[in-house]
């Protein structure tokens, strides 16, 4: 069992939508638009829908619907565990089915938010999916009670088998599903969710449900889709951001093998359509294109760095918070510490390059795509094609990496539709970006710099701290209307005053944290961990510098500032304890520590690092502690923590998107280096759930990876590292 069922097998006659679930109670009698959501599988045993999240087959298979995207982060398995826990079904008979946005729209967005970013996949849907599982269980039990004419309170259920002890009778979910579906959903107030401490399916390190087809090549990613009569396109957008196409000479490639058409895409890009992608790409490379580079052609990494540096001393800020009088306290302090840090643009470099396949006709538009926001994909398809939303559909494919790249922008869907519109109706068109195009046209992790000043009293206590971030705003690229009064508070992510999501974890008597927005022509976007990455490096490395100036142990120095932030402190202590902080290490190996908060969760790390006489860094071991409130699958949490080390260490060691002549310089993995297995340290994950909130998992720990490693290097060499990546830094 446990396969992912891609087609709906739900009986249309058996809708009973639980009012307890988000957007529920809407579907009865709703007219489905033509051509959408009618893909009932032929021949497969039909599943009866108990509510929108749970359908049950006669053979007791429990089909759990998943609305969020799976990109490797394990959300699919975690959500299924939460539903199965309340449903009390047999985990070995669980199958999952992903819900398309067209289907959700046809039922008035019954499945709610489908977007998958910000480490929200589980924490913002856990309540309604657990309630759906509980609702279904109650209805299935009621159906058995009705059949046996006994009070429902006399029944017990375990692994999908319902028993009546007094009469010795038993039945299974598959046998009562049809009757259960006809019942009215229970009053939401009558639902009591389980105490997570008593979970039997959730909370356990169960294996992922979606592994098997990743082992034998049978999993179909969006890039793999093959449709009858399909054509393929390769695309080149103006390498200078903001530039346009001036002209191109399509006669030069018209006779090349397989070439069907050359299409100008909007004003900025040229695509070649051919019978195969390789032929399209080959012809595109041979196509002479003249660009109008626009105003960005003179921009370099150096001019961008100057712009960031200017912001460090600007008198006008875009936002701030603080306590006391930081400037005065620092000016009058017995000892002052000052430093300027900087972090570069980074690309996402998903292993599966951007791609989308579309098929358009006058009254229907479809896209096959890997998306973190399938409703945005649907909207992009409709907007670009002119086909009404109700006649659009997104065929979901699990993502070959997302990391924030495949969210709301859906630029590749817009492009694919623009190309397909130039082809005969119903011609499937698959657009694939080359790796070079993927590197050249990302929405990059924002660049920023940070200037920090601290004052210590005669006893080495921190009396004042000023932290100024000067950097680029994601909202300025992706959501300009979200900037009100010049503010994009995400620039200070992880340094916020308010608790709950990304709170600053120290108490400093005189504190000023402020930021200025310095945008560039380079488009930016969320990148696993977003601004907690940069801000985590700034704060946590500087705290180490200050601790050193105070002559104190970096762990003890932090602890003294954290008494009013017990959850931050608890994970710091958990990491330190597991890593044997303070105990001897092999000669030449040094420890560094860091803590930070993001995505509603608390993270800390200890890195063990050595630096060779030649200045080569080796990260031997990393211990990461995470309090994400409730731990739905500790095994998959560990996998995400390990993954955050892989992604975070690549950024620390190698990650840098240089800009020259207004464009990206490093366009493939030969120069944009990615960490390989040989450099992966031993990672130990300590999950310390406090059972009183729901935090994220995919992103929180990445922000402590770089600072803990940099602090260990500082300990090893005696010199702080203030710029990334390390490949540019001479350590000895």
Partner 1 sequence: MTKLNINGSIKDVEVEPATPLLWVIREQVGLTGTKYGCGVAQCGACSVHINDEVQRSCSIRVGDIKPTDRIVTIEGLSATSSHPVQKAWAAVDVPQCGYCQSGQIMAAAALLKRVPKPTDKDIDEAMTNICRCGTYQRIRAAVHMAANDTTRT
Q: Which residues bind partner 1 (CB under 8 A)?
A: 71-74, 207-208, 210-221, 223-224, 226, 232, 257, 276-279, 349-353, 398-403, 432, 434-435, 635, 639, 642-647, 668-670, 674, 676-678, 680, 682-683
Q: What are phi and psi of 146, to 5 degrees?
A: -65, -40
Q: What are phi and psi of 106, to 5 degrees?
A: -60, -25
Shortest spacing between CB 351 and partner 1, in angstroms: 4
- 609 and 619 Cβ atoms separated by less than 8 Å: yes
Shortest spacing between CB 353 and partner 1, in angstroms: 7
Shortest spacing between CB 448 and partner 1, in angstroms: 23
Shortest spacing between CB 368 and partner 1, in angstroms: 13
- 160 and 144 Cβ atoms separated by less than 8 Å: no
Neighbouring C-alpha atoms within 13 Å toward the C-beta of 180: 32
Cα–Cα dist 345/327, whole Å: 31
Angle of CA points 82, 86, 90, to nearest 5°:
85
- 80 and 96 Cβ atoms separated by less than 8 Å: yes
Identity of the residue, 418 or 667, whose beta carbon is nearer to partner 1 in the bound complex: 667
Reading the block at residue 534, the tokens are 């940069």
Identity of the residue, 599 or 647, whose beta carbon is nearer to partner 1 in the bound complex: 647
| Interhelix angle 374-385/411-420, nearest 10 degrees | 30
Cα–Cα dist 347/263, whole Å: 27
Shortest spacing between CB 202 and partner 1, in angstroms: 17
Shortest spacing between CB 526 and partner 1, in angstroms: 16
Shortest spacing between CB 438 and partner 1, in angstroms: 10
Identity of the residue, 42 or 216, whose beta carbon is nearer to partner 1 in the bound complex: 216
Cis peptide before 203 (omega within 30 of 0): no
Q: Please, which residues bridge with residue 358 across strands?
A: 367, 429
Shortest spacing between CB 118 and partner 1, in angstroms: 18
Query: Across the chain, which distance is largest between two alpha carbons, in Å?
Result: 85
Reading the block at residue 672, the tokens are 């944009």
Helix (H, G, I), strand (E, B) or coil at 47: strand
Q: Shortest CA distance to 123 belongs to which of 562, 575, 501?
A: 501
Identity of the residue, 213 or 580, whose beta carbon is nearer to partner 1 in the bound complex: 213
Reading the block at residue 223, the tokens are 């890039």
Residues listed for the chain: 732
Q: Shortest CA distance to 643 belongs to which of 592, 587, 700?
A: 700
Shortest spacing between CB 237 and partner 1, in angstroms: 18
Identity of the residue, 434 or 711, whose beta carbon is nearer to partner 1 in the bound complex: 434
Identity of the residue, 156 or 668, whose beta carbon is nearer to partner 1 in the bound complex: 668
Identity of the residue, 118 or 400, whose beta carbon is nearer to partner 1 in the bound complex: 400
Shortest spacing between CB 255 and partner 1, in angstroms: 13
Neighbouring C-alpha atoms within 13 Å toward the C-beta of 524: 25
Shortest spacing between CB 205 and partner 1, in angstroms: 9
Q: Shortest CA distance to 695 belongs to which of 119, 129, 195?
A: 119
Helices (H), 292-444: 301-312, 326-331, 374-385, 411-420, 435-440
Helix (H, G, I), strand (E, B) or coil at 444: strand
Cα–Cα dist 185/24, whole Å: 10
Shortest spacing between CB 70 and partner 1, in angstroms: 8
Identity of the residue, 494 or 646, whose beta carbon is nearer to partner 1 in the bound complex: 646
Helix (H, G, I), strand (E, B) or coil at 303: helix
Identity of the residue, 397 or 568, whose beta carbon is nearer to partner 1 in the bound complex: 397
Q: Shortest CA distance to 731 belongs to which of 591, 582, 585, 618?
A: 618
Please state whether 682 falls in left (phi above 0), alpha (psi between -120 and 50) or beta: beta
Identity of the residue, 467 or 530, whose beta carbon is nearer to partner 1 in the bound complex: 530
Shortest spacing between CB 403 and partner 1, in angstroms: 7
How many other C-beta atoms are found inside a 10 Å radius of the C-beta of residue 579? 26
Cα–Cα dist 726/711, whole Å: 13
Shortest spacing between CB 625 and partner 1, in angstroms: 17
Identity of the residue, 42 or 218, whose beta carbon is nearer to partner 1 in the bound complex: 218
Please state whether 330 falls in left (phi above 0), alpha (psi between -120 and 50) or beta: alpha
Shortest spacing between CB 708 and partner 1, in angstroms: 16
- 612 and 620 Cβ atoms separated by less than 8 Å: no
Identity of the residue, 299 or 624, whose beta carbon is nearer to partner 1 in the bound complex: 624
Instruction: Give the alpha-carbon dihedral of 497, 500, 503, 506, to 10 degrees.
Output: 90
């Amino acid at each position: 069992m446990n396969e992912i069922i891609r087609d709906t097998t739900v009986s249309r006659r058996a809708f009973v939508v639980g009012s307890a679930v988000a957007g529920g109670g809407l579907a009865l009698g709703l007219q489905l638009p033509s051509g959408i959501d009618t893909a009932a599988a032929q021949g497969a045993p039909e599943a009866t829908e108990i509510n929108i999240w749970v359908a049950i087959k006669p053979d007791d298979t429990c089909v759990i619907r998943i609305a969020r995207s799976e990109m490797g982060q394990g959300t699919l398995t975690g959500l299924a565990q939460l539903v199965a826990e309340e449903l009390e079904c047999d985990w070995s008979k669980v199958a999952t089915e992903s819900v398309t946005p067209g289907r959700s729209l046809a039922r008035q967005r019954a499945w709610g938010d489908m977007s998958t970013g910000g480490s929200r996949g589980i924490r913002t849907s856990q309540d309604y999916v657990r309630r759906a599982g509980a609702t279904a269980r109650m209805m299935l039990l009621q159906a058995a009670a009705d059949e046996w004419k006994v009070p429902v309170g006399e029944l017990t259920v375990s692994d999908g088998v319902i028993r009546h002890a007094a009469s010795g009778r038993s039945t299974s979910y598959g046998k009562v599903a049809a009757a259960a579906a006809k019942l009215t959903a229970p009053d939401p107030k009558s639902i009591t969710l389980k105490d997570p401490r008593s979970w039997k399916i959730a909370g356990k390190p169960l294996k992922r449900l979606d592994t098997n087809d990743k082992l034998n090549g049978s999993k179909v990613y969006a890039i793999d889709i093959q449709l009858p009569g399909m054509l393929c396109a390769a695309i080149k957008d103006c390498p200078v951001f903001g530039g346009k196409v001036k002209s191109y000479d399509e006669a030069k490639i018209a006779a090349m093998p397989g070439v069907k058409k050359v299409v100008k895409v909007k004003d900025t890009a040229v695509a070649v359509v051919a019978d195969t992608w390789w032929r399209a790409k080959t012809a595109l490379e041979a196509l002479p294109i003249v660009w109008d580079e626009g105003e960005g052609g003179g921009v370099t990494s150096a001019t961008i760095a100057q712009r960031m540096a200017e912001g460090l001393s600007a008198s006008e800020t875009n936002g701030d918070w603080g306590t006391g009088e930081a400037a005065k306290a620092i000016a009058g302090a017995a000892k002052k510490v000052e430093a300027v840090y900087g972090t570069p643009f980074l690309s996402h470099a998903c292993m599966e390059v951007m791609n989308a396949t579309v098929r358009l006709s006058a009254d229907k538009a479809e896209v096959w795509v890997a998306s973190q926001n399938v409703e945005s994909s649907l909207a992009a398809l409709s907007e670009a094609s002119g086909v009404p939303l109700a006649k659009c559909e997104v065929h979901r494919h699990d993502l070959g990496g997302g990391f924030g790249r495949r969210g709301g922008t859906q630029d590749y869907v817009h492009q694919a539709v623009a190309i397909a519109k130039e082809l005969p109706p119903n011609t499937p068109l698959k657009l694939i970006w080359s790796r070079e195009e993927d590197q050249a046209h990302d929405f990059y992790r924002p660049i920023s710099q940070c200037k920090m000043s601290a004052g210590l009293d005669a006893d080495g206590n921190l009396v004042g701290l000023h932290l100024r971030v000067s950097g680029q705003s994601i909202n300025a690229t992706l959501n300009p209307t979200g900037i009100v009064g010049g503010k994009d508070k995400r620039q200070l992510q992880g340094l916020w005053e308010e608790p709950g999501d990304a709170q600053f974890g120290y108490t400093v008597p005189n504190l000023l944290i402020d930021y200025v927005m310095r945008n560039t022509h380079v488009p930016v976007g969320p990148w696993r961990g977003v601004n907690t990455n940069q801000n985590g490096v700034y704060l946590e490395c500087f705290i180490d510098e200050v601790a050193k100036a105070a002559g104190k142990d970096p762990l003890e120095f932090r602890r003294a500032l954290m008494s009013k932030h017990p959850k931050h402190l608890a994970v710091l202590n958990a990491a330190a304890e597991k890593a044997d902080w303070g105990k001897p290490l092999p000669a030449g190996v040094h420890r560094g520590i860091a803590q930070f908060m993001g995505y509603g969760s608390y993270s800390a790390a200890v890195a063990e690092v050595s630096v060779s006489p030649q200045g080569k860094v080796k990260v031997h071991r990393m211990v990461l502690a995470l309090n994400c409130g409730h731990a739905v699958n500790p095994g998959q949490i560990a996998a995400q923590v390990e993954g955050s080390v892989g992604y975070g260490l690549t950024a620390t060691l190698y990650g840098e998107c240089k800009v020259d002549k207004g464009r990206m310089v490093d366009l493939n993995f030969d120069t944009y280096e990615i960490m390989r297995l040989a450099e992966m340290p031993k990672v130990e994950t300590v999950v310390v759930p406090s059972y009183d909130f729901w935090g994220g998992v995919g992103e929180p720990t990445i922000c402590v990876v770089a600072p803990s490693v940099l602090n260990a290097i500082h300990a090893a060499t005696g010199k702080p590292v203030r710029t990334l990546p390390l490949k540019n830094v001479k350590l000895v």
